[in-house]
Amino acid sequence: MDESSEAIHNTGIAGLTGRGAAMPAAVFDNEHIGGLVEHPLPPQPVGERARVLIYSHDTFGLGHLRRSRAIANALAAGSTGVSVVIISGSPVIGNFEFGSGVDHVRVPGVVKLRNGDYRSLNLNIGIEETTHLRAAIIAQTAQSFRPDLVIIDKEPTGFRGEILPALNILKRNGARLVLGIRDVMDEPAALKPEWERKGGLEALSTFYDEIWVYGLEQVYEPLSCLPLSDEVKQRILYTGYLRRGLPREASITSYPRITRGPFVLVTTGGGGDGEDLIDWTISAYESPACPDIPALIVFGPFINRDQRRGFMTRIAKHPKLAAISFDSKLELLMNRASAVVAMGGYNTFCEVLSLDKPTLIVPRTTPRLEQYIRAAEAERLGLIRMLVQGSGSAETMAHAIRDLMQQKRPSEVVVPGLLDGLDVIGRRFNAWLAERPEPAVTHQAAE
């Protein structure tokens, strides 16, 4: 790792905010951060109410992007004159539709290797240089767009510390900074050292005005294992889960024939780590205990192509199985399904609750226990049923799929505030707008 790259990755919060150690030139020198020359911007247009910037690092899967998109669309639709920009590294962000007032900036993608390291997704440059390029784009976007509200998804310092330069710019410009985290981050034994290593605790106290937890305190407290000060604890707001609606039009013109009647939808989200669930499901239908109800498997855009080819060969031989590669408007397909089998990421969990589907969750347990913890808590409440990978045979899965037809729907379990997330966020956003001095912030370059 070269000296400038090491500065972004390893420099403490004190050094990056000018407290204590000197600010590293590799992070703040104009030459390295894209030459952040401040040019006067045009006056704020009549009718503009606020600008929102959402950062979603998206090194893997679709979860961060879909969560950010749901929040962005809700904020833009809930208040006239709101513009939202999502910064994302997802290679498939262009496949999704955004509401009026929402747009995105794509930074170069990265991918996590099996050994835990990262590499550039498409560029033939090292991960250190890729991180520098992403940091420069993020910082320049923060400087040029001049948002009033900033929501950072999950990572308080970003991927390898890439948003620290931008956070300093945003704080200096008076933006309100919010860290938004899902209901479950990871098991305490893994989360605490990870946040300490990345400077997450320092970032919370230094930068963030609020912490939004997209879940309920009575379900799980994701930050309870961290030594937070009382002041930081006061900034935490539990919103409830993010309710999902239905898109107006399907992205796929023709669904497989089995969707014309009752069927089970099998989804692995992005698909990058869903091979085991797909294999177990196919094996269930190949077994003597084959379920009566057909199943439609959605591979996801990140599944290994060779694996997908092998699965398609097996699926083509079975009359009760069908598959599609990817559907950016999966909610419509899920709404048609009789039940759902899924891995249990945050967004899928929100969707099955919103669409009220009997659901079997088969959570991954590596490299994080996030999905397992969420599924265990949801099963405790009676919202879903859980089956752990490797805990049974093909017949075990077949019986679990068959039992879905008699399983309770989530709506039959009363959990107050369960799906109030977007409403709570909208009310908090509007209250904050009302508290601001009038007129609204004029987006001019700082002196």
For residue 342, the model assigns a pLDDT of 96
Give 408's contacts (C-beta < 8 A, 6+ positions apart). 358, 382
* Residue of 326, 405, 435 lying closest to 92 (CA atoms): 326
Which of the following CATH numbers is that of domain 36-243+421-435: 3.40.50.2000, 3.60.15.10, 3.40.50.2300, 1.20.1730.10? 3.40.50.2000
The band of 43, judged by pLDDT with boundaries at 50, 70 and 90, is low
Tell whether the model's pLDDT for residue 187 goes beyond 70.
yes
Considering only the C-alpha atoms of the chain, give the largest distance between any 2 of them, rounded to a whole number of Å. Answer: 74
Amino acid residing at 249: E
CA atoms of 75 and 433, how far apart (whole Å): 12
> Which residue from 219, 207, 155 is spatially nearest to 181, judged by alpha carbons?
155
**pLDDT at position 27 over 50:** no
pLDDT of residue 439 exceeding 80, the answer is no
State which amino acid sits at residue 154: K
Residue 320's Cα: distance from chain center in Å? 32
For helices 200-207 and 164-172, angle between their N-to-C axes, nearest 10 degrees:
10
Q: Enumerate residues 6+ apart whose C-beta is below 8 A from 404.
A: 264, 293, 338, 339, 341, 358, 359, 360, 385
CA distance linking residue 61 with residue 442, whole number of Å: 37
pLDDT on residue 22: 31
CA atoms within 13 A on the CB side of 14: 4
Q: Which residues sit opposite 129 in a β-bridge?
A: none
On the question of pLDDT at 138 being above 90, the answer is: yes
- 257-412 shares the fold of 36-243+421-435: yes
Mean pLDDT of 419-432: 96
* Reported confidence tier of residue 440, pLDDT bands at 50, 70, 90: very low
Percentage of the chain beyond pLDDT 70 is 85
No. of H helices and E strands in the chain?
Answer: 16, 15
Q: Which of 33-37, 80-84, 193-197, 202-206 has the lowest mean pLDDT?
A: 33-37
Look up tokens 């089998």; give the residue: 341
pLDDT of residue 59: 63
Tokens of 441: 């912030």
Task: Give the CA distances from residue 394 to residues 298, 368, 384, in Å, rounded to whole numbers and listed in that order.
Answer: 19, 25, 20
Per-residue confidence band for 26, with pLDDT thresholds at 50, 70 and 90: very low
Tell me the mean pLDDT in the region 55-73: 83
* Both tokens assigned to 24: 């590293």
User: Which residues, including other chains, have CB under 8 Å from residue 418's CB and lie 6 or more apart?
Assistant: 216, 240, 241, 353
Question: Across residues 120-139, what is the average pLDDT?
Answer: 95
Reported as a single tens digit per residue, the pLDDT across 349-387 is: 999 999 999 999 999 888 889 999 999 999 999 999 999
Residue 19 has pLDDT above 80, yes or no: no
| Residue 50 parent element (H or E) | strand 50-56
Burial of 234 (0-12, 13-18, 19+ CB in 10 A): exposed
Whether 55 has a pLDDT exceeding 80, the answer reads: yes
Could you tell me which CATH class the domain 257-412 is placed in?
alpha beta
Q: What is the CA radius of gyration of the chain?
A: 23
Shortest CA distance to 361 belongs to which of 67, 14, 374? 374
- pLDDT (average), residues 188-208: 94
Mean pLDDT score, 222-232: 95
Give the three-class secondary structure for 324.
strand
pLDDT above 70 (res 14): no
Find the DSSP H helices in 199-345: 200-207, 230-233, 275-286, 305-316, 330-336
| H or E segment and range at residue 132 | helix 127-145
On the question of pLDDT at 447 being above 60, the answer is no
pLDDT of residue 79: 85
pLDDT tens-digit map of 321-356: 999 998 888 899 999 999 999 998 999 999 999 999
Average of pLDDT values for 142-159? 96
The CA-CA-CA angle for residues 301, 305, 309, to 5°, reads 115
User: How far apart, in whole angstroms, are the C-alpha atoms of residue 29 and residue 107?
Assistant: 20
pLDDT at 260 over 90: yes
User: Residue 379: in which H helix or E strand, if any?
Assistant: helix 370-381
For residue 385, the SS3 value is strand
Model pLDDT, residue 348 = 92
Mean pLDDT of the chain: 86
Alpha helix stretches (DSSP H) within 146-258: 164-172, 188-198, 200-207, 230-233
Residue 104 CA to residue 94 CA, distance in Å, equals 9
Name the phi and psi angles at 376, rounded to 5.
-65, -40
Domains of the chain: which residue ranges? 36-243+421-435, 257-412
Nearest to 324 by CA among 399, 251, 220, 238: 251
38 CA to centre of own chain: 32
| Cα–Cα distance measured from residue 375 to residue 364, given in angstroms and rounded to the nearest whole number | 10
Taking a C-beta distance cutoff of 8 angstroms, is the pair 326, 244 a contact?
no
- E strands in 228-294: 236-238, 264-267
